[in-house]
Amino acid sequence: MARGADGGDGARVWQHVFLLPEYLKDDSKKMKSGLVFVKLANPCSGEGTIYLFNMCLPQLFEIKVFKEKNHSWFINESVQSGGLLHFATPVDPLFLLLHYLIKADKEGKFQPLDQVVMDDMFPDCILLLKLPELEKLLQHVTEEKEVDKKKYYKYSKEKTLKWLEKKVNQTMAALKTNKVNVSARVQSTAFFSGGQVSSDKDEDYVRYAHGLISDYIPKQLSDDLSKYLKLPEPPASVRNPPSKVAAQRQKRDK
Amino acid sequence: MENSYEETIDKRRVHLRPDTLRDPAPASLHLLPCEVPVNRPTPVGRFFTPAIRMGRDGLEASFRGRSLRGEEVVVPPGFVGYVVTEEKAEVLMGKQDDHERGAGTAGPEALERDCDRFMGATASFSSFTVWGLESIPGPDAKLRGALSWPSLAAAIHAQVPED
């Protein structure tokens, strides 16, 4: 073993294979510490998910893991089971903030942000408040009031849907530039296995982009966005919740 | 009160040392199409790498008597590949353990909260070799899709223009 730290038993530690944005390498010259893995509430599922937080910038990255059955790595002179490949990509913090804004909206009043973004399960959520230009970001999804120089926010569904529509559009544009890769993936998704292949290519892209964005918003909002974008109902067998299928059956029975 | 709260948060964090990202030694990586259920040193340079040949359609090698076909895959533009490992918690561990017990953190998550952990990059790479059993992983391979993720993620998470 050439590399000292990995010699002997040391090499038995788990080696994680990561892809990180190049600029973190340049930023690292300026910082002594400040890159931290934290557990935050996933805005789609609400479950704890690992994110990478850059305290210096500050900036938030999500970690996605490529994981396929029957893979392993050879890393220099060692073997690492699992064959996992971790991606750290920048994430729009507004998705994570939205999770809390929607929760707080049940109280139906304007609130200061530090009272909205609170979480006993994931206390690191207060890191979100350190992110730059929060006020500007929040304009996309909230109504705001200023009292005694303190800002108060309230979730706005109308503004959020408008914002999400823009997100869908810019995702669609990216899907089109990556055309080769994406067309294969569009066809291989479960969306189109129900037999209702649309002849309208653009509609396929909207639906695919909607699916991607839906990974970052709660189910209810995803359904609302689907209606807002006037997406046709996907095939019942694939996406409809059981209650809806039952309702349709009742109609048919009449 | 404020302080103890901050402390609790800190205990759940895993730090990635930025200075280790600066200049780690380049590593050679191969993604194999089979599961080797161990993590340990292995003489890759003695048995695997010398057997790699340039064939008619890509690289050829064999592992455990099975024939492999592979090709070089470049990491997505704007990204750097790193091999990241956890640093040993050394002597501090014992002390922290006692401290923790005193503080009374219990429950299934207690282990994770014990103390800050540190990770660092031990190597970097800008490309790796992906291997398939008997044929090169095709354009539909899951890995190809995954490698296009950063450009898609950039679009999903870019700020939208104001009205």
CATH of the domain at A166: 1.10.20.120
User: Residue A150: which of A114, A124, A119, A104 has the closest Cα?
Assistant: A114
Out of B16, B21, B152, name the one closest to residue A178 (CB).
Answer: B152
Asked if residue A23 and residue A143 are part of one domain, the reply reads: yes
Phi, psi of A234 (to 5 degrees): -70, 165
Q: What HEC string does chain B produce?
A: CHHHHHHHHHHCCEEECHHHHCCCCECCEEEECCCCCCCEECCHHHHCHHHCEEECCEEEEEECCEEEEEEEEECCCCEEEEEEEECCCCCHHHHHHHHHHHHCCCCCCHHHHCCCEEEEEEEEECEEEEEEECCCCCCCCHHHHHHCHHHHHHHHHCCCCCC
d(CA A204, CA A173): 13
Q: Which two tokens stand for residue A135?
A: 């006020």
Asked if residue A143 and residue A33 are part of one domain, the reply reads: yes
Given an 8 Å threshold on Cβ–Cβ distance, is A37 in contact with B156?
no
CATH of the domain at A75: 2.20.25.530
d(CA B84, CA B123): 7
> Could you state, in order of their start, the residue ranges of all structural domains in chain B?
7-36+47-90+112-155
Decide: B18 and A24 in contact? Cβ < 8 Å: yes
In a domain, A236, yes or no: no
Using a CB-CB distance cutoff of 8 angstroms, which residues of chain A are in contact with residue B83?
15-18, 75
The answer for B 36-95 residues in CB contact with A (under 8 A) is 36-45, 48, 75-76, 78-86, 88
Q: Which two tokens stand for residue A127?
A: 């890191």
Q: Which domain holds residue A87?
A: 17-155
Q: Which of B159, B162, B163 to mutate to test the interface with A (most CBs of A within 10 A)?
A: B159
CA distance to partner chain A, nearest, from residue B98 (Å): 24
Asked if residue A220 and residue A128 are part of one domain, the reply reads: no
ipTM more than 0.95? no
DSSP line for A65-96: EE--SS-EEEETTEEEET--EEEEEE--HHHH
Query: Which parts of chain A fold into alpha helices (H)?
Result: 23-27, 93-104, 113-116, 134-138, 157-177, 179-188, 201-214, 219-228, 236-239, 242-253
Out of A3, A72, A137, name the one closest to residue B34 (CB).
Answer: A72
Q: Does residue A93 have a cis peptide bond before it, meaning omega lies within 30 degrees of 0?
A: no
pLDDT at residue B115, as a whole number: 63
Domain B7-36+47-90+112-155, CATH: 2.40.128.680
Say if B119 is an interface residue toward chain A (CB within 8 Å). yes
d(CA A46, CA A224): 18
Phi, psi of B47 (to 5 degrees): -105, -35
Asked if residue A136 and residue A44 are part of one domain, the reply reads: yes
d(CA A157, CA A50): 27
Given an 8 Å threshold on Cβ–Cβ distance, is B36 in contact with A81?
yes
Encode chain B (163 residues) as per-residue pLDDT tens digits: 334 444 444 556 788 989 899 989 999 999 999 999 999 999 999 999 999 999 988 999 999 999 999 999 999 999 999 999 988 654 344 333 333 333 333 332 322 334 678 899 999 999 999 999 999 998 778 898 899 899 999 999 999 987 6
Phi, psi of A230 (to 5 degrees): 55, 40
CA distance to partner chain B, nearest, from residue A108 (Å): 26
In a domain, A7, yes or no: no
Length of chain A: 254
Asked if residue A163 and residue A43 are part of one domain, the reply reads: no
In a domain, A252, yes or no: no
pLDDT at residue A74, as a whole number: 98
Query: A169 in helix, strand or coil?
Result: helix
Asked if residue A90 and residue A35 are part of one domain, the reply reads: yes
Quick one: closest CA in A to B8, which residue?
A123
User: Residue A21: which of A50, A57, A67, A70 has the closest Cα?
Assistant: A57
Out of A17, A34, A213, name the one closest to residue B81 (CB).
Answer: A17
Specify the pTM.
0.80
Given an 8 Å threshold on Cβ–Cβ distance, is B148 in contact with A166?
no
Number of structural domains in chain A: 2
Asked if residue A148 and residue A26 are part of one domain, the reply reads: yes
pLDDT at residue A240, as a whole number: 44
Asked if residue A43 and residue A146 are part of one domain, the reply reads: yes
d(CA B9, CA A12): 29
Residue tagged 């909230």 (tokens) = A142
Using a CB-CB distance cutoff of 8 angstroms, which residues of chain A are in contact with residue B157?
89-92
Residue tagged 């992906």 (tokens) = B130
pLDDT at residue A239, as a whole number: 47
Given an 8 Å threshold on Cβ–Cβ distance, is B157 in contact with A92?
yes
Asked if residue A177 and residue A119 are part of one domain, the reply reads: no
pLDDT at residue B12, as a whole number: 60
Q: Which two tokens stand for residue A175?
A: 């899907």
pLDDT at residue B99, as a whole number: 37
pLDDT at residue B162, as a whole number: 78
CA distance to partner chain B, nearest, from residue A106 (Å): 27
Using a CB-CB distance cutoff of 8 angstroms, which residues of chain A are in contact with residue B84?
15-18
Out of B19, B45, B84, name the one closest to residue A16 (CB).
Answer: B84
Given an 8 Å threshold on Cβ–Cβ distance, is B35 in contact with A69?
yes
CA angle in degrees (0–180, nearest 5) for B152-B157-B159: 125
In a domain, A99, yes or no: yes
pLDDT at residue B141, as a whole number: 85
pLDDT at residue A139, as a whole number: 95
d(CA B69, CA A72): 15
Residue spans of chain A under pLDDT 50: 1-11, 180-200, 236-254
Tell me which amino acid residue B113 is: R
Residue tagged 């759940």 (tokens) = B12
Given an 8 Å threshold on Cβ–Cβ distance, is A76 in contact with B123?
yes
